[in-house]
Amino acid sequence: MNYDLIVIGSGPGGYVAAIRGAQLGMKTAVVECADLGGVCLNWGCIPTKALLKSAQVFQYLLHAETYGVKLEGTAKADLDAMVTRSRGVAETMNKGVAFLLQKNKVDVIRGFGKVKPNKIVEVKSSENGEITEYSASHIVIATGARSRELPNLPQDGKKIIGYREAMTLRKQPESMVIVGSGAIGSEFAHFYQSIGTKVTLVEFLPQIVPVEDADVSAQLSRSFRKNGMKVMVDSSVEHVDTAGDLCKCTIKTKKGEEIVEAEIVLSAVGVTTHIENIGLEETGIEIVGTKIKVDEYYRTSQEGYYAIGDVVPGYALAHVASHEALVCVEKIAGLNPHPVNYNNIPGCTYTTPEIASVGLSEKNAQEAGYEIKVGKFPFTASGKATAAGNRDGFVKVVFDAKTDELLGCHMIGDNVTEMIAEAVIIREKNITAHEILSAVHPHPTMSEALMEAVAAAYGQAVHL
């Protein structure tokens, strides 16, 4: 069959590319060998948030008397029921993607897709293994990524696991060592610690959530430790002995080696791209390291072939992949989309407290040579945070002292992932500090903390 556009992969990059292509009048198909919606929807962003919500409800019940609510008996965490709910949420969203593709008349081809020369996509059917070739004027590669394995932490799916197994455990472990404190590691560390598992979080670098501002990292570390978690930085898991009932983890620290025992070890050391065996070499598409080389409109080195999402250089984030998809397909359709501004990408981590950030950290701004103004507003001074019962965290802003433009915004606290978009728009439109202060923010809200932090940066703080 002949198509105008074929997309390989149906994750947040792939299905968005396919739907936008169909909206722009292209005859479109998407090739998928697993679940529609990709890792994010089925095994990442969405089901983990469902688990974290269950943990939050459990914590509310444990501390109900703090809010003036008395319960008879003791609340118990039921991991099996939490996982069942999480899988149900993923299934609902999966059906939603299927509906959207059908609504927009996108053909779904079930099977493993490979690119071939002359704009051909070869698909090995998921049903019967038969191989069929399809042609297209434009082919978008959106095959995503998977959990990265370290040589000294081979995942067996039982004692040493990846994020997929961590998301579907039916029996709650009494103890767990989590290797890596990025978004995946920190979110699972918070989830399991919150429902009663004894968690040890191990990070190779000097701070947890290492891509975040140092103040944010320090606050999350304090919050984790306050809840009983063991946090180890400047540390590495050298070896795991799985011979006994418990895993014996040999952890190298600045003070020497330490043995930590746990039922399960979760390896959360990032992801690696799905670019093997999909025909890139045969087609002549240029690869740099583990990424496909593309230009600002996601054109590869071969005409008619494009790549978006985790397989290209940049942020491995769902919202980035979706935006890349729009830019890519709209350019194919002859429109004039703005290239993605990679200097203004928000990042979110859904621990408690949540983390959200965009732009330069204070340290990065100083290293870049900026003269800066820094303001911070703690949620201990927030009426809304105090009423809600969780005052951990703050909003921190970093401004260019010469232009009064926002260089970076860093938030940690309840619901800050819902607040960061304001900072993204401020940076996108070059709104100055004085213009932010002139805009009325509602009270009492968590979001007014951004305005208060700006006021603090310019010596105008009233509530601090």
> DSSP letter at 405?
B
CB 215, CB 376: distance < 8 Å:
yes
- Encoded amino acid at 174, one letter: E
Cβ neighbors of 352 (< 8 A, separation 6 or more) are: 52, 55, 56, 59, 190, 194, 223, 390, 414
Look up tokens 């250089």; give the residue. Answer: 313
3-state secondary structure 136-197: EEEEEECCCEEECCCCCCCCCCCCEECHHHHHHCCCCCCEEEEECCCHHHHHHHHHHHHCCC
SS3 content of the chain, % helix, strand, coil (to 5): 35, 25, 40
- In which residue are the tokens 């959106």 written? 142
Instruction: Please identify which of the residues 63, 239, 434, 443 carries the catalytic annotation.
Output: 443
441 catalytically annotated: no
Write the DSSP symbol of residue 299: B
What whole-number distance in Å separates Cα of residue 54 and Cα of residue 86? 9
Q: Report the alpha-carbon distance of residue 7 to residue 341 in Å, rounded.
A: 23
Instruction: Say whether 385 sits in a helix, a strand or coil.
Output: helix
Q: Are 221 and 186 in contact (CB under 8 A)?
A: no
Determine if residue 326 is left, alpha or beta; phi over 0 gives left, psi from -120 to 50 gives alpha, anything else beta.
Answer: alpha
Catalytic (active-site) positions: 443
